[in-house]
Amino acid sequence: MSRHAVAYPLDTTDRRIVAALQVNGRASWTEIAQLTGTSVTTVARRAQQLLADGRVKVAVAPQPGGGVAELLIVRIRCVPGGQLPAARALAAMPEVRFVALVTGGCDLVAEVLVPKRAGLHSVLLSGLQSIPGVRGSVADLGLHTYKSTREWSRHLLGPGGRPTTPPPVHDCPSVHLDKMDERIVAALRQDGRASFQGVAHGLGVSESTVRRRFESLHHGGCLQVVTLVPAAALGFEAEILFWLSVAPARLDTVARELAELDGVRQVAATLGQESLMCEVILPTYADLFRFTTQTLGGIEGIRAWTASVELLTVKRGFVITPWAAQVVTGP
């Protein structure tokens, strides 16, 4: 991976290719060419280069369903100089879905999926609090996810690329991946575009078995194909986590209103003083100003809010981002 992969933005054609990959990370080069209005040769050459450089990563990860785990959204304070080692340790934990270095009253934000069979205390006390460099944390229990989308760049494809409604939040029975499913997902975690034939050869099973199982799980929402790219590379300046204090009687209405907005990537109700967590990604800080003054300021029921700027996303969707790999694997 280029040491400076995040430093320079992509051009318009590259951005459209990445947006198409966020719609479907396993789409053929022909399908992406049709969606972007670009030749198949150009799409294949540019996309393969982006993937090889580490500026873009396509990966497959399981999507936990209802009854499998409790979601904790944890804000972590670190000792001076302890942020990167703590982020590295958090990213190495398999139950951690998201880690970012942030500004504001905390240094790190993490999403932790705690299995039902494990107590919350074991993760918070034996896990997070024992990480060197962690000085303290505040953990809010996630009660309900209203929106969680990986397709935040879709509007770069033009009017036809905008979804008419937010995608449904996945929720399936607690037992949905068996041992073979887990092996298939593990094989596709490093390279989400790997061929079914290649995965089958590595696992010693038939290609039809891999294809059938993958398509069944993907159609059922039990796994997700994630296309990761630095927001700055697509021309987005602002990645913000908002913590909203909302009147209880208005919480559901406010959450659903926020979930309808294109710039909102995630909305979750939490058990805490700030009853909603809202992740926003916007092209400019001028857009962010309008979001805070007009959008948040115009929604009845929002009493107050605090915010953190995402400085570096280390892990998302259970996948360590390639541009932060030096952070999480360095000495």
Residue 160 has pLDDT above 80, yes or no: no
- In angstroms, rounded to a whole number, what is the distance separating the alpha carbons of residues 197 and 207? 5
What is the predicted pLDDT for the residue at 95? 86
Nearest to 112 by CA among 141, 147, 85: 141
Among 91-95, 157-161, 325-329, top mean pLDDT goes to 91-95
Domains of the chain: 177-221 (1.10.10.10)
Confidence of residue 178 (pLDDT cuts 50, 70, 90): confident
What is the predicted pLDDT for the residue at 329? 59
Confidence of residue 323 (pLDDT cuts 50, 70, 90): confident
Residue 157 has pLDDT above 60, yes or no: yes
Confidence of residue 330 (pLDDT cuts 50, 70, 90): low
236 sits in the region (left: phi over 0; alpha: psi -120 to 50; else beta) called: beta
Residue 63 has pLDDT above 50, yes or no: yes
Confidence of residue 120 (pLDDT cuts 50, 70, 90): low
What is the predicted pLDDT for the residue at 218? 87
Q: In the chain, pLDDT over 90 holds for what percent of residues?
A: 60
pTM above 0.75, yes or no: yes
- In angstroms, rounded to a whole number, what is the distance separating the alpha carbons of residues 328 and 307? 25
What is the predicted pLDDT for the residue at 121? 67
Q: What is the mean pLDDT of residues 70-91?
A: 92
Confidence of residue 17 (pLDDT cuts 50, 70, 90): very high
